Each structure stands twice: as structure tokens, then as C-alpha cells.
Copies of this chain bind each other. A is one copy, B any other.
């Protein structure tokens, strides 16, 4: 019996249209087998680059329809979705450039050395090849940039891997639209349409990670969901890499000096960051360590003013709304914890949210001492998805260190420093930076973690549970997830790919007998 997949408007709770039916085991098997047939054609790097650029172009051509559909399904708003579409197209083109350049192939060539010790060295030529069919699990909170046409898909296609995307139930219609665009781009690039295949449904996601022909998976979502899939990937007869981005508290430390110098600016900046997109960013600052005392009080006052002025917003779906309201209430109810701006239901009449479905941003304040040891206050060290942050007041360096030592892994960690601390380095600031480095994959000074630039040097990942591996899901090196090295020994030129032949006919950056080749100024 086919289970219908509905597109739902979170502003009204009403079903918009039936998009598809959920895929059972047989449909998932068919999807994976179809995608697997595209693998040989994807060996053509030129076709991959055309596919990625073509997809970016089609996405821009269809922007009006895609954005309207995504807004109707997610309530994220047209301005935000317009930016997300531009980011997604930029990302697709960035991976096309990476495919063209070929540095990601990591070519290393060692010519034979009969005089090598302890034994003669044969001719060895190593590069990286695609892993096979990649399963991508779309995120709720980015219907484009971390979903069907997002970073996981773009990097997997760039690597030469066909993709089966499991759509997120919060935006099935957007997913179907985008999958159609990608499939059209594949055909236009001379590749099979099944280079990208879309499936819907919870069971489909479970089946996908277990399918023998699936070689790797990318996931953005919750800790329980991601961990269950990670466990399934590890428990397979043939385990596969599972690149999950699960959860992150994104701690922020405001030093005494920073609070003394610019408490108001930091308080207002924090309000802007934790309420952005209704707090539905994986990089939302969820724990802010702020000095006790007068300067910290000024910061809190500024935060109260700015957060109190932030408008209500509609969350992605009723389950998230419910979890947010429960989570906010439980945190505010802890003894000694105060809520200067009470997060909760927006009530009727909020500009963004008709019919009382909107929520109001807020924040709570706790003492650092409460977090020094495991106990009931550990709830404050768990991510609460939505527009809520936790301010923790610390009295001295020891209290600050004690709280930081209790944190799990994070995508980001931020320090707001005094001007002299930043300029001089060393001392307490250096110690703080070392501690934050141990906690996260991206460390920021005097900034806010929301907003993840698509750049070669980006790293969007961190110690568990931020990610389940050491990889990134944003930036150029995200392509590394979908490749494995192969070395050819004493293989005649006629049987080698151009990238591995003497003279470098493919013109890719390589390392040959220790020297760098084809790596001039870019």
C-alpha cells in the first residue's frame, strides 16, 4: 500500500499537494541500481563539470518557482531562500572548477628506483577514484544548500559518484523540483538521467544505508537519527563510510576584556546570530560563556533588548516547534536559571506566523558553577534547535575552563577577545584558543558562527557529535569523502589514465618523484 508524501505549509499546517509515494525496499533497490548504471559515464571529468555548471544554471533559471515552493514548504522566507539558492549555485560551480583543475585526484607518481634501499622500488602511480553510489540524506533546515542540489550531492557528483538522495519530509516538493533539474542537467551533459535519483520516506532512508551497492553516505540532521544510520552503516557486512553532521552547541566565550570593551555590541551581535533563520542553523551559538560582574551585566542587558525586539518566526514543522517549546521550558524551569527573554509560543498576531504557530526567540541565564559537574544542568549542554541560547556566567578562568572541559564536540567555537588580547596573543588568549581548537572544527575570533562560507579553506565538521568523521561537508575538501586511492604498479602507459602518464597530458597538479608539477600560481 503506497504511503503518500505530502507537501505541507508550516504556516497553516495544511497539505499543499501530494508529491510522491514513499519508497519501500524494492523501490530503493531499483533507485540504487539505476544510479549504479551511471557510474561508468561519470568517469568523464569534463561531463561532470558540465553537469555541475548546467545544474547551477537550471537552478537559477527556475529560481522563482524553486524559491516559492521552498518558502511555501519551509516558511524560511523569500530573502533567505534567494540567498540560499545563490549559495547553492555558487557551490555547484565551485565544484565544477575543482573537477576541471584535478588537484583533488591527489596524483602522486614515483618512478622506479632500482637502487632504492632496502629493496628496489617499482614504478608507482597513485590517484583517487570514485567510491560508487553515494546516499545523501537531505537536511530539514536548508532545502537547497544541504539538500537535493546541496553540498553533499555536488561534491559526490564532482568526485564521480552517482547520488541517491533521500528527500527530507519538510520539503518534498522542492526536492522533486531540484531532482528534476539535476537529472535534466545530467542529460544535457551527456550523462544518464539516473546520475541523480530521488527517494522519499523514513523506511527508504533505512534501506538506503544498508543497500550493498551504496558505497558511502552523507547526512545532515539530528544526533539520534544520524547515529542510528551511522550504526547501520558500521554494522553492514561490508561497512561503508557514513559522513554525518549531527549536532553542535557552538560555544562562544566572551573574555573579561572583550566584555569591558564592547558589551553592548557583543550582546546585540549574539541576538542577531542566535535568532537568524529562527535559530534553525547547525551553527547557531547555543552556549555563551559571559563574565559575571558589571560588564557581563551590560552584555546581558543589550542581549535582552535586542532579543526582545526580535520578531516571532515559524519553525520548519510541528515536531520541531513542539521540541523547541518543550526544550525551552525545561531549561527555563531549572532552579536558579532565569529567562530574561522568555522563549515560547508567539501567541496570535505575530507578523510572520498566522494562527498561533509562530514561536518567540528567547534566552536563559545560568551560573557556570551549576555546570562544573554532571547533573540536571547537563540539559544546558545539549543543542536546542530553534531560537534559544544559553548564557552562562563565569566568575574566573577556572570556572570557564571547567565548563569548556565538559563540552562535547562542536562544528564551531568562538572567542570574543579584548583588543590587546587579540593583538598580542600568548597568555590566556592562546590558552583559550588551544582549548577551543580541541572542541571544534572551526574556530572564530570576534565573529559569529552562523554563516558558513563556501571556500577552499572552509571546514564544516568537528569532533563527535558535530560530525561522525574528520571530514567537512562545506568547502572544496568535501570532495575527499567520496574517493579512494588506487596505486598502479609497473603499469604500461597505454593502460594508464592520462592523469597518470608521463608528460602529464591531462595537465593536473601532481607530485612526481617528490617534486610538485602543474602547480603554478592559480
- Nearest-CB residue, chain B, relative to A517: B521
Q: Which of A457-471 contact B (CB under 8 A)?
A: 457-459, 461, 463-465, 468-470
Is the Cβ of B470 less than 8 Å from the Cβ of A483?
Answer: yes
Minimum CB–CB distance for A510 against chain B, Å: 10
Is the Cβ of B430 less than 8 Å from the Cβ of A495?
Answer: yes
In the complex, A444 Cα to B488 Cα: how many Å? 6
Task: Give 1 or 0 for each of A124-148: 1 = CB within 8 Å of chain B CB.
Answer: 1110010100000000000000000
Is the Cβ of A516 less than 8 Å from the Cβ of B522?
Answer: yes
Q: Which of B231, B444, B470, B487 contacts A459 (CB 8 A)?
A: B487
Is the Cβ of A422 less than 8 Å from the Cβ of B485?
Answer: no
Q: Which of A195-234 contact B (CB under 8 A)?
A: 230-231, 234
Interface-lining segment among A111-119, A324-332, A383-391, A396-404? A111-119
Copies per assembly: 2
Is the Cβ of B116 less than 8 Å from the Cβ of A444?
Answer: no
In the complex, A121 Cα to B90 Cα: how many Å? 13
Interface-lining segment among A264-272, A311-319, A371-379, A446-454? A446-454
Is the Cβ of B110 less than 8 Å from the Cβ of A90?
Answer: no
Is the Cβ of A451 less than 8 Å from the Cβ of B522?
Answer: no
- Nearest-CB residue, chain B, relative to A520: B516
- Nearest-CB residue, chain B, relative to A494: B425
Q: Which of A234-291 contact B (CB under 8 A)?
A: 234-235, 238-239, 241
Task: Give 1 or 0 for each of A77-116: 1 = CB within 8 Å of chain B CB.
Answer: 0000001001100100000000000000010111000001
- Nearest-CB residue, chain B, relative to A518: B516
Contact of A48 with B by CB under 8 A: no
Q: Which of A476-490 contact B (CB under 8 A)?
A: 476-477, 483-490
Contact of A19 with B by CB under 8 A: no
- Nearest-CB residue, chain B, relative to A236: B464
Contact-residue size bin, chain A (C-beta under 8 Å from the other chain): 35 or more
- Nearest-CB residue, chain B, relative to A441: B486
Is the Cβ of A453 less than 8 Å from the Cβ of B90?
Answer: no
Contact of A304 with B by CB under 8 A: no
Is the Cβ of A485 less than 8 Å from the Cβ of B464?
Answer: no
Contact of A333 with B by CB under 8 A: no
In the complex, A69 Cα to B424 Cα: how many Å? 54
Contact of A296 with B by CB under 8 A: no
Q: A239-B464, A485-B472 are in contact. Are A490 and B444 (CB under 8 A)?
A: yes
Q: Which of B117, B230, B487, B489 contacts A445 (CB 8 A)?
A: B489
Q: Which of A164-184 contact B (CB under 8 A)?
A: none
Contact of A122 with B by CB under 8 A: yes
Is the Cβ of B445 less than 8 Å from the Cβ of A492?
Answer: yes
Is the Cβ of A422 less than 8 Å from the Cβ of B494?
Answer: yes
Is the Cβ of A470 less than 8 Å from the Cβ of B516?
Answer: no
- Nearest-CB residue, chain B, relative to A426: B494
In the complex, A86 Cα to B117 Cα: how many Å? 8
Chain B residues closer than 8 Å to A451, beta-carbon distance? 119
Chain B residues closer than 8 Å to A424, beta-carbon distance? 494
4 nearest CB pairs, A to B: A425-B494, A234-B234, A86-B118, A514-B522
- What are 26 of the A-B contact pairs (CB < 8 Å)? A86-B117, A86-B118, A87-B118, A90-B117, A90-B118, A108-B457, A108-B476, A110-B457, A119-B451, A124-B457, A238-B464, A422-B495, A423-B492, A423-B494, A425-B492, A426-B494, A441-B485, A444-B491, A445-B490, A445-B491, A458-B487, A459-B487, A477-B485, A509-B516, A516-B516, A516-B522
Beyond the given pairs A106-B477, A119-B453, A459-B486, 5 more chain A to chain B contacts, judged by CB atoms under 8 angstroms and listed by A's residue number, are A108-B476, A124-B453, A425-B495, A445-B489, A516-B516
